């Protein structure tokens, strides 16, 4: 039976062990851990967990069915089964709750050489083999992982590890792993991360100004080049070439010749306009891209759709008070699809797009004239994420953000590659031309609209996926009166608004839509944030989300989450400690303009700070450099020495040889299709 360990299994196991994409507390179903009011009865976990009492009982029954007579082995198998309840279970099981029946077992000598002596192995995996190799285990989870391979079938009579694996080396090659590259392994009990202390924040952030235009969105060209798309709030998109850092060049962008002009369709006002754009992951092949914008149904006949205040959401539009002299649902949020097909020989060569819509993806009438987010972006799973605010009105009076039948105050997740049939649209009350990913939360919560991925948000303003750790889906959510927050978004997460504003209970001034009690939800609190009267320089505050810094241009900023505030002329860096824990500290970072900036930076009166104006958004190019999109222009984060900031890592990075690029996640998924889950 020793031949059952195939090369494919070993190769795919290694890929899983080396993939660091799943980090921070997260359950195997992509949900955030939760806190139980009473401890589990079977599994020795408390505090933040990934099992409820029902799942705890199921694990007890599974353990009892194994009928293990050896007390030591039984104790080990119980701990392995109960690893499902660990708050880091997604990392331990590498995010796959089906095809990985056991967690990755800690093994201090991983990776193993097949010629290595079994006696040289140690760690928890070795302990499991030494204790259980000759013990009969009915319905063994280790045997389950081999079903379908040569010589092993469902209902197999093999009950001992030694009957399935030739040696400890073979066994630990399949199930063992080390805590490397940000990955975790199971060592017999709850995961505890080593706290090395909070790293010292960088001395400062050096910026160079490369453009004078005022833009609200930036998306790197999907072809991997040094080009990017920029869009403004009135409704134009431009294709620009980004100069090399330090070369003294400016952003090459022809204002007179936009890539796409939608100003006739877009309604532009204080909180209205073109709010987002996203380019299909296969844009270079198919030329598909998407724009998110607002329109006025009085001025544009094609601005029509279902009102977000409707009977399903227990809302009557006729009872809404007029907002800024606008009737309820006069304004809409739209996602429309466009194409470059027919404008160039291939999409990567296109410099203009067709101005007419290919397809209306989403249309929704807005109850009020504020808080409708509008950002769109493709996740690493290939689905389109749509960030939507609570619809406006002070304190979300109709409690839309907590209403599971409302799309307001939510993050939606849509499949725009498969369009639902008319019957499906009718059954699911869809808002346009798309379908629902099969693993959206509604499959477990029938009360939830199928589009919803996460809820309880006031007005998410700029979200991003960490390019190195896709499970870090960061969103900034603008506060009401007191608190601005940054959240890690997870499947079916409830981020509290309007039960909470940040970490504090919130009492609305009026609530014609009813209230939600704090005890009825498992609110996920911010990982970072700040109070209006403490950490900002001006009376107004509105957070602007950014990115994890993944460029080596400023190696002292690497791995920190950069974000800012629209009004406060402030930039923060969030540092995670311990690494991969989900625990962040934030520091306000001094910043200045490089003395050799291609465009001279003006200064704030009475200060040496560059006059950024309003910080509308952040951007990231294909080199992972970070950009600030402000009312005064486009700025790029550059080498600290250009502003006389000290960074001991800068010279070392400049002289280091570049390392080979890692394999893309997509290629790993294709190689091991049965070992990954979306």
The answer to whether the beta carbons of residues 623 and 237 sit under 8 Å apart is no
Q: What does the radius of gyration of the chain's CA atoms come to, in whole angstroms?
A: 26
The answer to whether the beta carbons of residues 469 and 182 sit under 8 Å apart is yes
User: Bridge-partner residues for 529, per DSSP?
Assistant: 485
**pTM attached to this predicted model:** 0.89
The vertex-342 CA angle with 338 and 348, nearest 5°, equals 75
158 and 226, same structural domain?
A: no
Q: Is residue 356 part of a domain?
A: no
The answer to whether the beta carbons of residues 377 and 358 sit under 8 Å apart is no
623 and 494, same structural domain?
A: yes
213 and 147, same structural domain?
A: no
229 and 152, same structural domain?
A: no
* 186/172 Cα distance (integer angstroms): 13
132 and 20, same structural domain?
A: yes
What is the predicted pLDDT for the residue at 398? 95
Element (H, E) at 171: helix 168-175
Q: If you count them, how many residues does the chain have? A: 678
What is the predicted pLDDT for the residue at 606? 82
For the CA atoms of 488, 492, 497, 503, the dihedral, rounded to the nearest 10 degrees, stands at -50
The answer to whether the beta carbons of residues 458 and 393 sit under 8 Å apart is no
Backbone phi, psi, residue 567, to 5°? -105, -30
Exposure string for 580-601, b = 16+ CB within 10 A, e = fewer: bbbbbebbbbbbbbbeebbbeb
Residue 627's nearest CA partner among 201, 219, 233 is 219
Q: Tell me which residue range forms the domain holding 572.
A: 205-262+378-432+443-646
Q: Report how many domains make up the chain.
A: 2
From start to end of 68-130, where are the E strands? 105-106
What is the predicted pLDDT for the residue at 7? 31
Encode pLDDT of 299-328 as tens digits: 999 999 999 999 999 999 998 887 888 899
Backbone phi, psi, residue 452, to 5°? -75, 130
What is the predicted pLDDT for the residue at 609? 85
125 and 47, same structural domain?
A: yes
Q: In what order do the strands lie in the sheet with 217-220?
A: 217-220, 227-231, 236-241, 260-261
Q: Is residue 134 part of a domain?
A: yes
551 and 492, same structural domain?
A: yes
User: Bridge-partner residues for 620, per DSSP?
Assistant: 626
Q: Is residue 131 part of a domain?
A: yes
What is the predicted pLDDT for the residue at 677? 27
The answer to whether the beta carbons of residues 620 and 464 sit under 8 Å apart is yes
214 and 137, same structural domain?
A: no
Q: Give how far Cα 597 sits from Cα of 396, 424, 636, 642, Å.
A: 44, 55, 10, 9
613 and 525, same structural domain?
A: yes
Measured in Å, how far apart are the chain's first and last C-alpha atoms?
A: 32
Encode pLDDT of 154-203 as tens digits: 445 678 999 989 899 999 988 988 766 567 899 999 998 887 777 788 99
- Domain holding 551: CATH number? 2.120.10
* 27/87 Cα distance (integer angstroms): 6
From start to end of 348-482, where are the E strands? 359-365, 376-378, 384-388, 410-414, 452-455, 460-465, 473-477
Q: Is residue 335 part of a domain?
A: no
176 and 210, same structural domain?
A: no
| Tokens 């929704």 belong to residue | 364
Q: Which residues of the chain fall below pLDDT 50?
A: 1-21, 97, 113-118, 147-155, 657-678
What is the predicted pLDDT for the residue at 675? 29
155 and 231, same structural domain?
A: no
Q: Is residue 240 part of a domain?
A: yes
What is the predicted pLDDT for the residue at 678? 26
What is the predicted pLDDT for the residue at 22? 57
Q: Is residue 337 part of a domain?
A: no
What is the predicted pLDDT for the residue at 6? 36
Q: Is residue 18 part of a domain?
A: yes
97 and 123, same structural domain?
A: yes
Q: Is residue 69 part of a domain?
A: yes
What is the predicted pLDDT for the residue at 245? 95
- Which H, E and C letters describe 538-596, residue by residue? CCCCCEEEEEECCCCCCCCCCCCEEEEECCCCCEEEEEECCCCCCCEEEEECCEEECCC
Cβ within 8 Å of residue 365, ≥6 positions away: 297, 305, 306, 307, 308, 309, 328, 329, 330, 331, 332
What is the predicted pLDDT for the residue at 208? 98
What is the predicted pLDDT for the residue at 655? 52
């Amino acid at each position: 039976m020793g031949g059952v360990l195939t090369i494919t299994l070993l190769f795919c196991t290694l890929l899983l062990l080396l993939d660091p994409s799943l980090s921070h507390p997260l359950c195997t179903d992509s949900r955030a851990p939760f806190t139980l009011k009473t401890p589990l009865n079977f599994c020795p976990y408390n505090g933040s967990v990934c099992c409820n009492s029902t799942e705890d009982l199921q694990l007890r029954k599974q353990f009892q069915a194994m009928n293990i007579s050896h007390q030591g082995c039984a104790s080990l198998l119980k701990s392995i089964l109960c690893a499902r309840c660990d708050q880091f279970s997604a990392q331990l099981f590498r995010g796959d709750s089906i095809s990985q029946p056991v967690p990755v077992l800690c093994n201090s000598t991983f990776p193993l050489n097949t010629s290595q002596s079994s006696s040289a192995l140690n760690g928890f995996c070795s302990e499991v083999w030494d204790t259980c190799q000759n013990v009969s285990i009915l319905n063994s989870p280790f045997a389950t992982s081999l079903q379908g391979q040569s010589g092993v079938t469902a209902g197999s009579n093999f009950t001992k590890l030694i009957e399935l694996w030739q040696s400890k080396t073979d066994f630990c090659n399949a199930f063992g792993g080390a805590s490397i590259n940000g990955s975790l392994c199971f060592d017999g009990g709850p995961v505890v991360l080593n706290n090395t202390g909070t790293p010292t924040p960088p001395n400062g952030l050096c910026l160079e100004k490369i453009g004078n235009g005022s833009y609200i969105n930036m998306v790197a060209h999907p072809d991997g080049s040094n080009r990017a798309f920029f869009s403004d709030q009135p409704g134009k998109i431009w294709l620009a070439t980004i100069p090399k850092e330090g070369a003294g060049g400016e952003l090459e962008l022809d204002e007179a010749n936009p890539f796409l002009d939608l100003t006739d369709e877009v309604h532009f006002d204080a909180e209205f306009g073109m709010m987002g754009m996203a380019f299909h992951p296969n844009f270079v092949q198919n030329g598909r891209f998407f724009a998110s914008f607002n329109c006025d149904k009085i001025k544009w006949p094609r601005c029509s759709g279902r009102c977000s205040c409707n009977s399903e959401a227990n809302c009557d539009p006729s009872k809404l008070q007029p907002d800024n002299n606008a009737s309820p649902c006069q304004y809409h949020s739209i996602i429309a699809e466009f194409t470059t097909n027919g404008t160039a020989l291939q999409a990567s060569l296109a410099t203009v797009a067709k101005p007419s819509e290919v397809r209306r993806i989403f249309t929704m009438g807005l109850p009020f004239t504020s808080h409708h987010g509008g950002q769109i972006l493709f996740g690493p799973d290939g689905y389109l994420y749509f960030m939507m605010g609570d619809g406006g009105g002070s304190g979300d009076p109709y409690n839309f953000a907590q209403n599971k039948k409302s799309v307001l105050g939510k993050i939606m997740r849509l499949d725009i590659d498969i369009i639902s049939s008319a019957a499906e649209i009718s059954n699911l009350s869809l808002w346009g031309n798309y379908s629902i990913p099969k693993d959206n939360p509604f499959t477990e919560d029938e009360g939830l609209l199928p589009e919803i991925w996460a809820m309880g948000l006031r007005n998410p303003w700029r979200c991003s996926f960490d390019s190195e750790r896709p499970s870090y889906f960061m969103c900034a959510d603008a506060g009401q009166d007191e608190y601005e927050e940054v959240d890690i978004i997870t499947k079916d997460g409830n981020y509290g608004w309007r039960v909470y504003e940040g970490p504090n209970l919130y009492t609305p001034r009026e609530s014609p839509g009813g209230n939600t009690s704090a005890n009825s939800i498992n609110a996920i609190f911010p990982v970072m944030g700040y109070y209006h009267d403490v950490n900002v320089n001006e009376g107004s505050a509105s957070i602007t989300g950014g990115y994890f810094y993944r460029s080596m241009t400023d190696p002292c900023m690497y791995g920190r989450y950069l974000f800012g505030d629209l009004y406060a002329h402030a930039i923060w860096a969030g540092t995670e400690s311990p690494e991969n824990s989900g625990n962040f500290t934030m520091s306000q970072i001094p910043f200045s303009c490089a003395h050799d900036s291609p465009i001279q930076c003006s200064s704030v009166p009475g200060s040496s700070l560059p006059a950024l104006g309003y910080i509308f958004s952040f951007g990231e190019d294909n080199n992972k450099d970070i950009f600030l999109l402000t009312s005064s222009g486009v700025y790029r984060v550059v080498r600290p020495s250009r502003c006389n900031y000290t960074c001991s890592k800068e010279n070392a990075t400049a002289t280091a040889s570049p390392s080979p690029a890692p394999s893309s996640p997509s290629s790993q998924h294709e190689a091991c299709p049965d070992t990954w889950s979306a």
